[in-house]
Structure 1
Amino acid sequence: MCEQCCCAGAVDPTNPLRPPGVPESGAVSPAPLFHPSPKIHPGRVLMDDYLGPMGISIRRLADSIRIKRGRLESIIGGRSSITAELSMRLGRYFGEPKTYWQDLQCKHDMEMACCAWEEDVDLIRPRVRW
């Protein structure tokens, strides 16, 4: 775990899917959409929070949203990213905004970039605009 990231320490190590400040009982007021930690790849969110609990197979989802099973397996395995097109398909299928899945991917990508390059980027001297 990167200690320098903007979200360092925000994830409960015993349950990284539980948002900070949410007790184990989950007794909080309901939110319209669950926003997992950006450290978690959206493919894992798809598998752990949607397909698994709903009893939907990868093949069934791939057929339902009209994509190849291999593409979906690659996303679930964290080897591929969710594109705008796939975000629209998943949003339509699960009844969420079409940007929901791409937003998760963008936040994940930024978190990973912060872990990898933040120190180097901080060495760049900002250009004064005027």
Structure 2
Amino acid sequence: MTEKKLLAPIHPGEILLEEFLKPMEISQERLAEDLNVPIEQIKEIIEEKRGITADIALRLSRYFGMSERFWMNLQTRYDIEVEKDRLRERLEKEVKVYAASQAL
């Protein structure tokens, strides 16, 4: 059974930009300075060229006063959805589904 994908996975950089930086009127430059990371790193996350690392998750969680797991979960979900889309047909062909009745 194949599922139809309605929406593309949302990158954590888009969430950072749309749900945090824009509403709070925080520039990418200010965020980079406040997190003590290179501006290129923030720009690449926003541009979806780089993912959220554990280091960035810890910095963002401290900065925004929230859990680092929030940021890591966003990245993990994104990575899983991208891979699921990429590998769906291949996995259906290559990986058998375990059936409990086969074990008896």
One fold, TM greater than 0.5? yes
Contact in 2 for aligned 1:42/1:108 (Cα 8 Å): yes
2:63 aligned with 1:54: no
Residue among 47, 62, 70 paired with 1:92: 62
Q: Give the fraction of aligned pairs with identical amino acids, expressed as a percent.
A: 31
The AA in structure 2 aligned to 1:122 is E
Deviation at 1:51, TM superposition (A): 0.3
Give aligned pairs, total.
98
* Bigger helix fraction: 2
Deviation at 1:126, TM superposition (A): 4.0
Contact in 2 for aligned 1:4/1:115 (Cα 8 Å): no
In structure 2, stretches of 5+ residues that fail to align are: none
Superposed CA offset, 1:11-45 (max 9, x none): 5xxxxxxxxxxxxxxxxxxxxxxxxxx81100010
In structure 1, stretches of 5+ residues that fail to align are: 12-37
Distance across 1 between alignment mates of 2:97 and 2:84:
21
Larger radius of gyration: 2
Distance across 1 between alignment mates of 2:95 and 2:51:
31
The AA in structure 1 aligned to 2:52 is I
2:86 aligned with 1:113: no
Structure 1-normalised TM-score? Answer: 0.68
**In the alignment, which residue of structure 1 is the partner of 2:46?**
76
Q: What is the correspondence of 1:1-40 to structure 2 with a 5 Å cutoff? A: 4=3, 8-9=5-6, 39-40=9-10
Residues 113/125 of structure 1: CA separation in 2 closer, same or farther (3 Å cut): closer
Superposed CA offset, 1:47-66 (max 9, x none): 01100010000010001111
SS at match of 1:52: helix
The AA in structure 2 aligned to 1:55 is E
